[in-house]
Amino acid sequence: MRDINKPLTNSDEHAILLLKPDGFEKEMLPEIMGIISKYGLKEIERRSFNLSYHEARDIFIHTHKLFTDYITRSHVVAILLYGKNAVHKVRLLKTKIRKYFHCEDVENLIHSPDSGMEYLIQSRTFFPHITADKFPQFSDFYAKVTFPCETHLFSQKMLNLQKKSAAAAFVLPNERFDKIQDQFHNFINRNDSKIHITTAMEYYTVYKEYKFKVVSYYPLGQEISNLSDHCNSFYPDLIELIALIKDSGGFPFVAPVKHLFGYKSEYYEALRGAGVVGAIIYHPSYSLEETTFLLEEVLGKGGLVSGGSGGILSYGQVGVSFELFHGLYQNIYKKSITTDWINPELIL
């Protein structure tokens, strides 16, 4: 496997920054772009839109009425950016700019895509005439990939994927988990692979009458001696499930299956105490308030966050930013992915 002490190189990427209606109404674009330009990001093109209600529902993950009414009330300005590690920089600068201007939860001046799917939809909507396909090196947390059983076909697929990303997390079928793990190892040994890999399995369960899905990540090469115990269609006791995962060397992330109606703050606190490492917070069915609630709930208690179905696309085609992938990787392997391009001034 790739030496994790060897720095990952700079990556030229496209990123989207969207000035929202409150930013447009306050004429804040020059000031915001002044901040963006200090970090080596080049503006490729900008376009103004007055989105319809239907368009807003098609291109944003968050589609609840409060957000849709806000995003359609006046103009938005889409800016296509390009530069070294643009996605990572824009994600961090977005948060810093919102805090600096004391933004509210919904009216918060600017937007950048939170997931690969959202980026792809918005780039095709705002800049259909431009091929903005320079994506991050880190593949989506939740990239579900169907791997062929035949060795030569598996190798062909991995060689193609390896060209597109430096790191990836794969959710594998539980019943084939050990066999695909072996295929990964064989491929790495034969090809001196240069990709950082971690793997995961899914489980469905319930806690206090609230349905959850658990995604458990495992270090590559982790042997699961009791794999059959991990192949149930449903687990009636979430605490016992977490114990099973932990005993097998896994790192469980909890994911509410549907909207967070009735979700209680003390639920995650109890699950954290039972061994949950973090939560999957980005999902196309979650409202902005729900995603924000999970962010504050999980990060506030020292947990990790990852993407969800909002990011499922072809592996390597659309990635996630460095800080999301690195949090998971560092927790699993107890090592950092060394980089030569993370600007300490951008780390929040």
Q: What is the pLDDT of residues 75-97, one digit of tens each?
A: 999 999 998 878 778 877 888 89
> According to DSSP H, which parts of the chain are helical?
21-25, 29-37, 53-59, 65-71, 86-100, 116-126, 151-162, 177-191, 238-247, 265-274, 288-300, 322-333
CATH T-level topology, domain 12-136 = Alpha-Beta Plaits (3.30.70)
Q: What is the C-alpha separation between 215 and 158, in angstroms, rounded? A: 23
The confidence band for 288, taking pLDDT boundaries of 50, 70 and 90, is low
Average pLDDT rounded to a whole number, residues 200-225: 86
Average pLDDT rounded to a whole number, residues 104-124: 81
pLDDT for 141 beyond 60: no
The whole-chain average pLDDT of the chain stands at 79
Query: How many CB atoms sit inside 10 A of residue 170's CB?
Result: 22
pLDDT the model gives residue 312: 40
The confidence band for 16, taking pLDDT boundaries of 50, 70 and 90, is very high
- pTM for this entry: 0.69
pLDDT the model gives residue 120: 78
Q: What is the C-alpha separation between 118 and 115, in angstroms, rounded? A: 5
pLDDT the model gives residue 136: 56
CA atoms within 13 A on the CB side of 38: 9
pLDDT the model gives residue 2: 37
Which range of 86-95, 159-168, 236-245, 275-284 scores highest in mean pLDDT? It is: 236-245
Q: What is the C-alpha separation between 123 and 19, in angstroms, rounded? A: 14
pLDDT the model gives residue 314: 44
Average pLDDT rounded to a whole number, residues 119-132: 85
| Portion of the chain with pLDDT greater than 90, in percent | 25
Q: Return the domain boundaries, the chain.
A: 12-136, 138-317
For Cα atoms 246, 221, 301, give the angle at the middle one, nearest 5 degrees: 35
Q: How many residues does the chain have?
A: 348
pLDDT the model gives residue 140: 46
Q: Of all residues in the chain, what percent are helix, strand and coil, respectively (each to 5)?
A: 40, 20, 40
Name beta bridge partners: 84.
12
Which range of 63-72, 230-239, 248-257, 319-328 scores highest in mean pLDDT? It is: 230-239
pLDDT the model gives residue 317: 44
Average pLDDT rounded to a whole number, residues 158-183: 81
pLDDT for 309 beyond 50: no
Task: Please say whether the beta carbons of 7 and 322 come within 8 A.
Answer: no
pLDDT the model gives residue 20: 96
Q: Please enumerate in sequence order all residues whose Cβ is within 8 A of that of 154, keeping only pairs 6 or more positions apart, or say none.
A: 147, 148, 183, 187
pLDDT the model gives residue 164: 63
The confidence band for 313, taking pLDDT boundaries of 50, 70 and 90, is very low
3 state SS for 163-182: CCCCEEEEECCHHHHHHHHH
pLDDT for 28 beyond 90: yes
The CA distances from residue 338 to 2, 9, 10, 170, in Å, are 12, 10, 12, 21
Of the candidates 247, 297, 232, the residue with the CA atom closest to the CA atom of residue 267: 297
CATH T-level topology, domain 138-317 = TIM Barrel (3.20.20)
Q: Which amino acid is at 179?
A: K
The confidence band for 328, taking pLDDT boundaries of 50, 70 and 90, is confident
